[in-house]
Amino acid sequence: MGNDVTMYDEEQDMQMRAQSSNLNEELGQVEYVFSDKTGTLTANIMEFKKFSAGGRSYGKGVKPTKKQEENVNFYDPELDAVLGDKGHEDHDALMRVILFLASCHTIIIDQGSYNSSSPDELALVNAAKQFGYEFIDKDTEDNVVILNKETQEKYIYKLLGTCEFSSDRKRQSCIF
């Protein structure tokens, strides 16, 4: 399914791919299909453009000049300045947010690429990757492994639990 040549979006001039194919074996058991308008207006596309950390807002809302990760449309030269200056008053808060982006998700790595049931998670994890902190995988003990691409230092966090996203909570939480 991931290599289906008919999954092509002419409007965006790009090959599309399935976000998740883990329900295929259950499709034959479906008797009724109910749907709502979720994703209808947004085309179920998420782009990372802006965020805030430590009381400071990042993302200028202008078209980026350099190549971006998938689902990321971010430009702000101030981000690099704060990230590069460990003495900056907002450095620690920014680092925490980027590490949260890289670690708080349910993405799995399938054949070298991120696989998620949600384009939101892809956008957040790819933003962290663009900022220099890449989700590598979970190790055999279910620890989340994040790589600082500049220093090659690995951050390993023990995942103690996940509170899945629900429409009541409108959020997902991970406990490390």
Examine the residue annotation and report whether 9 is marked as an active-site residue of this protein: no
d(CA 80, CA 83): 5
Q: Locate 71 and state its tokens.
A: 């689902």
Query: Tell me, what amino acid is at 156?
Result: I
Directed axis angle between helix 77-84 and helix 91-103, to 10°?
110
Per the residue annotation, which of 4, 13, 36, 76 is the catalytic one? 36
Q: Locate 114 and state its tokens.
A: 């991120």
Q: Which residues are catalytic?
A: 36
